[in-house]
Structure 1
Amino acid sequence: YKRLFLLLKLKTEQQRVDELVSINGADFEKKAHKQVRNSRQNMPEDIIEDHVFLKLFKNIPRTDLEMLFPNQNVQLKLFDKIKLAVSGGGGTIFGLFSIIGKIGAAVINPFALIGAFVGLIGIIVRQILAIFTHRNKYMMVLSRNLYFHNLDNNFGVTSYLIDMAEEEEGKEAILAYYFLLTQSDKQYTQAELDRAIEKYLKDRYEVDIDFEVDDGLRKLRNEGILNEQDGKLKVLDLHQASACLDKQWDNFFNPDEKQ
């Protein structure tokens, strides 16, 4: 996801318990209460069920999506579990066979049995360390997603969405002005301009968009840049349009003008 917006609201503890009970049966209710409490015990105190939280992330892999949720526990992927089970299980079994094979020789050479036990303990310790290593790797991924990929939170997300909406409004006017200025010889009508811009977006970016041409033209008309005669649309050139906009900005805050 190049841009990912999350709107989060915690369910009440009882709602979550009821969900788990409906999945696992009525006998699971006691365990469900314990499971829900354990999943929420490490969350900050200001994250409560009455609040709604907005999060904005960038460049989030689909596989890392669940790590962004506040009550998510770090868990190994299935492939890593199988990998650790195969390597750890194989090493442990090999160590057990080695001990069994040396029990008979323990009477003659007890150091061989001790060495086998030490080797088995070493294998077990190595597998435990491998589990912690993989867990730390997932923690690093989680920290990276929360720190480097987090763009904004709550009110900042709202402000970001408003800015994006304003940009889209400006793009509509800019596209309409660009086509009317650079292709003035075609003398576009509103419908023709709408089709030309939609075709351009389809050919250039391979997206089907219902361009709101009436909205873009309304903005140009309100700014005094667009003229329409017999259904044909015309705009001021860049120099005239700049002068028109500059004049409007100069008169926008006029302290001498009575309201």
Structure 2
Amino acid sequence: MTRAPTAGVRTVSRFIPLTRQAVIASLCKVAERDDTADDFSRLVHLLQRHRSVGYRRLAEEIRSVYLPFNPDRDTLQILPIDAAQKSEREGRLAQLIDHLLERANFSTLTDERLSATLSAQSPYSLRIEVDLKEYDLLQVHIRDPYTRSRTVRRPETGYLLKATYEETIYRRLFMMLKLKSNEDRAREVAAERGISLKAASRHVAKRRRQLPPDTATDLIYVKVFKDMPEHDLQILFPLRIVQFRPFDKMKFFATAGGGTLFGMFSTTGKVLAATNPFAAVGALVGFITLLARQVTTFFNQRTRYMMELAQKLFFHNLANNRAAITLLLDRAEEEDVKEDLITLYFNAGLSVEERSLGARKRAIEEIIVARCGVAVDFELPDALARLEADGVVRREGEVVVFPTLAEAAARYKVLIASDERDEARHLCTAGEEVDAMEA
């Protein structure tokens, strides 16, 4: 098996940076040497079918709950949903997404760390302000962070000197957010600043004027990004204030201010000294042209910043809204299957005392490093919880009893038969709650 590609120094995380197919192929080779290939193949087939049923049901529930909040929906809502039901669905959606992200081995970016990141100075000297109070719902999760060295020429030194720094990169970044309504935000601004509600409403409307016209405060936006630098988190928020770099401010005011003042004094002298009215008009036209050039320079600078932000959003964006949820579902199922198969194979037929589970976890991690060259924080307790729920692994007092591969395959064969009966009943009961049809 080849080593997983890495960029920079990878931080040890719960994510297993190997595909499901790679894990299965590696275990199949070991099973062939152990003469358990047939039993393992049956187990792989049956376990994957069982997990697929569970995730299909989870996908149906998440998509149903997310439907009223989906900005990209192309269906008509038939059944009315009142405010209380919508609030209940929003809470349920947050719970399901948290569960899904945990299964996909994402970690929560805490409010403290998020605030510290947003307030930190960008290494590019790009100043972006983000107000987290604008959001009614905000979740940021990361997976598989790594660090790399970056060398740039700083504008503060006239691009003559180089600066090297370590930057943290999130291989995957998840965001879910919902804007506060204009009315609620206006009331907060009025209370914070001690101004009238009318003035606060004008402030909120001006601040949100930069949003696309189809942006709504009752919708929930879901995004997944790849290889996103930590210091670029600010650009992902829809409400952000972009300010010039200090060096660019100095350069602009030096050139624009100096040029404009020189042009103004020069033009004034020419107009006063001119005896020909056409010469005076020509001097004024020249001054207006100079002023227009300085204003154009200002807007060109801002356009350059917008292009820089747009390029990052374009090349780092993986999926949006429902597509992002589908991507997470696929990744979560992938992680569960990998963890379950690894746990069952390397503990097949063993009876392990509770206090020895930590040693088994470390042994599995060492095997993964030796065979694949990647270090992981293997989630043995997570896999055990699922396998116990399936009735595959059982506890006898302080001892955890693992089945043989053949016993595990037999148990999943029983579960699949039960899944098929439940699926038939599920299709009939789900039809009673249909609330949408194709537009």
Paired residue total:
236
2:321 is the alignment partner of 1:154: yes
1:58 is matched with 226
For structure 2, the 5+ residue unaligned runs are 1-169, 394-398, 426-439
Distance 2:265 2:210 in 1: 43
2:360 is matched with 193
Distance 1:231 1:63 in 2: 45
Cα distance change on mapping 1:92 and 1:216 into 2, 3 Å: same
1:85 is matched with 253
* Superposition deviation, residue 200 in structure 1: 6.0
Amino acid in structure 2 at the alignment position of 1:15: D
Q: 3-state SS of the aligned residue for 2:330?
A: helix
Deviation sequence 1:22-79 (CA, Å, 0-9, x none): 332225x433211222344564565433322212222334454344334446x34343
* Superposition deviation, residue 175 in structure 1: 3.4
1:214 is matched with 384
Amino acid in structure 1 at the alignment position of 2:363: A
The higher relative CO (CA closer than 8 Å, separation ≥ 6) is in 2
1:24 corresponds to which of 161, 171, 193: 193
Cα distance change on mapping 1:179 and 1:77 into 2, 3 Å: farther
Distance 2:199 2:265 in 1: 39
2:160 is the alignment partner of 1:8: no
Amino acid in structure 1 at the alignment position of 2:260: T
Question: Contact conserved, 1:103 with 1:113, CA < 8 A, in 2?
Answer: yes
Distance 2:351 2:392 in 1: 19
Amino acid in structure 1 at the alignment position of 2:331: M
For structure 1, the 5+ residue unaligned runs are 182-186, 224-229
Calculate the aligned-residue CA RMSD, in Å: 4.7
Cα distance change on mapping 1:197 and 1:136 into 2, 3 Å: same
| More deviation, 152-161/33-42 | 33-42
2:298 is the alignment partner of 1:131: yes
2:311 corresponds to which of 110, 121, 144: 144
| More deviation, 84-93/190-199 | 190-199
Amino acid in structure 2 at the alignment position of 1:7: M
Distance 1:170 1:153 in 2: 25
Distance 1:37 1:87 in 2: 34
Amino acid in structure 2 at the alignment position of 1:52: I
Cα distance change on mapping 1:14 and 1:108 into 2, 3 Å: closer
Cα distance change on mapping 1:77 and 1:61 into 2, 3 Å: farther
Question: Contact conserved, 2:226 with 2:316, CA < 8 A, in 1?
Answer: yes
Q: 3-state SS of the aligned residue for 1:9?
A: strand
* Superposition deviation, residue 17 in structure 1: 1.2
Q: 3-state SS of the aligned residue for 1:131?
A: helix
Distance 1:231 1:16 in 2: 53
Distance 1:112 1:188 in 2: 101
Amino acid in structure 2 at the alignment position of 1:68: L
Question: Contact conserved, 1:2 with 1:59, CA < 8 A, in 2?
Answer: yes
Matches within 5 A, 1:114-125: 120-125=287-292
Cα distance change on mapping 1:43 and 1:110 into 2, 3 Å: closer
Q: Which has the higher helix share?
A: 1
Amino acid in structure 2 at the alignment position of 1:214: L
Cα distance change on mapping 1:115 and 1:62 into 2, 3 Å: farther
Distance 1:104 1:42 in 2: 42
Distance 2:173 2:306 in 1: 20
Distance 1:178 1:116 in 2: 87
Amino acid in structure 1 at the alignment position of 2:332: A
Q: Could you tell me the TM-score, scaled by structure 2's length?
A: 0.41
Question: Contact conserved, 2:179 with 2:217, CA < 8 A, in 1?
Answer: yes
Q: 3-state SS of the aligned residue for 1:26?
A: coil
Could you say which structure has the larger radius of gyration? 1
| More deviation, 169-178/115-124 | 115-124
Q: 3-state SS of the aligned residue for 2:301?
A: helix
Q: 3-state SS of the aligned residue for 2:293?
A: helix
Cα distance change on mapping 1:221 and 1:82 into 2, 3 Å: farther
1:176 is matched with 343
Q: Which has the higher strand share?
A: 2
Question: Contact conserved, 1:6 with 1:55, CA < 8 A, in 2?
Answer: yes
Distance 2:307 2:277 in 1: 45
Q: 3-state SS of the aligned residue for 2:319?
A: strand
1:227 is matched with none
Amino acid in structure 2 at the alignment position of 1:58: K
Deviation sequence 1:132-151 (CA, Å, 0-9, x none): 22232233344434444322
